Amino acid sequence: MQAAGQLSLLIIPMFVEENLLGLIGISREGSSPYRTDEIARITALAEEIASFISTDRRRQLTIALAERQRLVRDLHDSVTQKLYSLVTMTEVAQARLDAGLETGSEVILVQIFSRIGEYARQALKEMRLFLFELQPINLEREGLVTILNQRLAAVEGRADIKARLLADDNISLSLEKEVALYYIAQEALNNILRHAAAKSVNIHLKQGKVNVLLQIEDDGCGFDPKRDDKGGMGLRNMRERVSQIGGKMKIVSTPGKGTRITVIVGKDRRSKARPRWR
């Protein structure tokens, strides 16, 4: 504590596990010293702020670790398994060639090489998906429409899937809801890429007087949404995110006839609208 002219300054350090996190400085007019009870209150405030920052850092670290574990798990379940299958099928084909071609072997080899090509294309799709997910996104700066367009161009556009985004101008959503809608759309697109065998996907982002609608529709193989084992963790994650922002989600799908996912959330007032990109 020190006095500088007619200004009294109080500086309290903030510690987290004996590590200096920062300082809190308080000043007031006059040269009278701070009372013991005043110092105690500011010290308590500094400890509370330090505890909050420490807790938030741990939370962010936990989220980051969970996302990393998910990526590792997905990488193992998809790309690694496909590459293992590629190696196995290549070895089978080589063994048949080494043994000499017998009657009917040509047909079997054609089937094997066809599957090798299919698995290689799937592995390439998965790698593009993982590379995109590893890139940082900045929804606050770019906006939901721009980030979704980047995703469609980087992943679906290179996977021979005709993808289109139709969005209204100046969508009025808080950053929290934009983040949730982005990850909902990402989860839906990931499912389409991995399981639907779709040729096209359309995303609609529309706003009414009180709500914003996000709709993802594909022409893939479809599934029975009533069977949780078919929906898997992806759909459960989507439902959780929708619930967290007070929205509603509806899934319409029939085996062989594609899938349509509709999410509706309440609008937010926002002073600064973000531009739309197409």
Boundary of a domain, candidates 11, 39, 60:
60
Across the chain, mean pLDDT equals 82
pLDDT digits (tens, 9 = 90+) for 217-244: 999 999 887 775 545 667 888 998 899 8
Mean pLDDT on 49-59: 84
Instruction: Determine what percent of the chain is predicted with pLDDT higher than 70.
Output: 86
**Cα separations (Å) of 200 from 131, 245, 259, 260?**
22, 29, 11, 12
Domain boundary at 60, 76, 92, which?
60
Our count of domains for the chain comes to: 2
The pLDDT assigned to 270 comes to: 53
Residues 241/244/247/252 CA torsion (nearest 10 deg): 30
Domain presence at residue 231 = yes
The pTM score is 0.61
Question: Is 88 inside any structural domain?
Answer: no
The dihedrals phi and psi of 253, each to the nearest 5 degrees, come to -155, 145
Identify the domain boundary among 60, 77, 106. Answer: 60
Q: What is the pLDDT averaged over residues 142-157?
A: 89
Domain that holds residue 49: 2-60
Query: Looking at the predicted structure, is the pLDDT value of residue 60 above 70?
Result: yes
Q: What is the pLDDT of residue 258?
A: 94
Of all residues in the chain, the percent with pLDDT exceeding 90 is 27
Look at residue 276 and tell me whether its pLDDT is greater than 70. Answer: no
Look at residue 275 in the predicted model and tell me its pLDDT.
Answer: 43
Q: Does 251 fall in a domain?
A: yes
- pLDDT tens digits, 102-123: 666 777 788 888 888 888 877 8
278 vs 105, residue with greater confidence: 105
One domain for residues 31 and 161: no
149 and 255 housed in the same domain = yes
> How far is the C-alpha of 81 from the C-alpha of 77, rounded, in Å?
6
Instruction: Please check whether residue 226 lies inside any domain of the structure.
Output: yes
Q: Are residues 52 and 150 in the same domain?
A: no
Q: Are residues 48 and 148 in the same domain?
A: no
38-42, 109-113, 252-256: segment of lowest average pLDDT? 109-113
Biggest CA–CA distance in the chain, Å, is: 103
Q: Is residue 99 part of a domain?
A: no
- pLDDT average, residue stretch 31-46: 89
Say yes or no: 277 and 150 in one domain. yes
* Helix/strand/coil (H/E/C) assignment for every residue in the chain: CEEECCEEEEEEEEEECCEEEEEEEEEEECCCCCCHHHHHHHHHHHHHHHHHHHHHHHHHHHHHHHHHHHHHHHHHHHHHHHHHHHHHHHHHHHHHHHHCCCCCHHHHHHHHHHHHHHHHHHHHHHHHHHHHHHCCCCHHHHCHHHHHHHHHHHCHHHCCCEEEEEECCCCCCCHHHHHHHHHHHHHHHHHHHHHHCCCEEEEEEEECCCEEEEEEEECCCCCCCCCHHHHHHHHHHHHHHHHHCCCEEEEEECCCCCEEEEEEEECCCCCCCCCCCC
Asked whether residue 158 is domain-assigned, the answer is yes
Averaged pLDDT, 143-169: 90
Asked whether residue 192 is assigned to any structural domain, the reply reads: yes
pLDDT digits (tens, 9 = 90+) for 183-213: 899 889 988 988 898 999 999 999 999 999 9
Higher pLDDT, 275 or 139: 139
Q: How far apart are CA 221 and CA 236, in angstroms?
A: 20
> Does 181 lie in the same domain as 52?
no
171 and 42, same structural domain? no
Residue 89 in any domain: the answer is no
The CATH number for 194's domain is: 3.30.565.10
Q: Name the nearest CA neighbour of 175 among 250, 54, 271.
A: 271
Q: What integer pLDDT is reported at residue 175 of this predicted model?
A: 87
48 and 177 part of one domain? no
- The two tokens of residue 267 are 């609008």
pLDDT tier at 269 (50, 70, 90 boundaries)?
low
- pLDDT value, residue 261: 96
pLDDT at 77: 67
Quote the pLDDT of residue 76: 66
